[in-house]
Amino acid sequence: MIATEFRTKNEKETLQLGEKVGELLRPGDVVALYGDMGYGKTVFVKGLAKGLGVKDIITSPTYTLVHEHQGRCKMYHFDMFNIDSYEALYTTGFFDLCQSDAVTVIEWSQNIRQFLPDGALEVRFDMSKAGERIICIPEDKRFADIRC
Ligand SMILES: Nc1ncnc2c1ncn2[C@@H]1O[C@H](COP(=O)(O)OP(=O)(O)O)[C@@H](O)[C@H]1O
Ligand SMILES: [Mg+2]
């Protein structure tokens, strides 16, 4: 997937980038986040949720596996850090939820890569030596006007 690279210097910039993406999402979108611990995935989801009109406080679903929120559409927030098999994934309800009219956002997508639906929007997180977060967003027409 061809991607546009953004660099964020702090949490606020990542929140703002997430919010801009969230504003452009549509019901049924699946957003697959890739990247290691501490790279800013949950911060990005907080922004994304705001862009979707979610008012809840967003916390990491590392142990609960999935959180449901309501904005201008439903948003399911998964964290696949502890998912290591098809059975474990199946019991989260993932396969039904990601085919619904909700927006589904998935942290640690690298753990379930082979089970992601076609058309999932892949967002990749990396870190520069200086600690900036390098965030790559698909080069989709929808996201073409995003600046950071
Ligand atoms: N540019 C940045 N973007 C996002 N988070 C940053 C940035 N710089 C520093 N941080 C810090 O890094 C941490 C990222 O945490 P989090 O979003 O929970 O990571 P992840 O979900 O990828 O494990 C937060 O403590 C945040 O304050
Ligand atoms: Mg996280």
Q: For a pocket test of ligand 1, which of 43, 111, 132 has the largest count of ligand atoms closer than 8 A to its C-beta?
A: 43
The CA-atom distances, in angstroms, between 100 and each of 24, 29, 40, 90 are 18, 9, 26, 15
Instruction: Copy the structure tokens of residue 137.
Output: 């967003």
pLDDT band at 2 (very low <50, low <70, confident <90, very high): confident
Question: Which residues are near ligand 1 (CB < 6 Å)?
Answer: 8-11, 13-14, 35, 37-43, 107, 133
pLDDT, averaged across the chain: 96
Give me the helices (H) in the chain, please: 11-24, 41-51, 86-91, 94-97
CATH number of this structure's domain 3-143: 3.40.50.300
Instruction: Tell whether the model's pLDDT for residue 1 goes beyond 90.
Output: no
- Specify the ligand 1 atom closest to the Cα of 79: 21
Q: Whose CA is nearest to atom 1 of ligand 1?
A: 10
Domain ranges of the chain: 3-143
Predicted pLDDT at 148: 80
Determine the longest span between alpha carbons in the chain, in angstroms: 40
User: What is the C-alpha separation between 18 and 14, in angstroms, rounded?
Assistant: 6
Q: What is the mean pLDDT of residues 64-76?
A: 97
Q: What is the pLDDT of residues 34-60, one digit of tens each?
A: 999 999 999 999 999 999 999 999 999
State in Å: Cα 132 to ligand 1 middle.
10
pTM score, whole prediction: 0.97
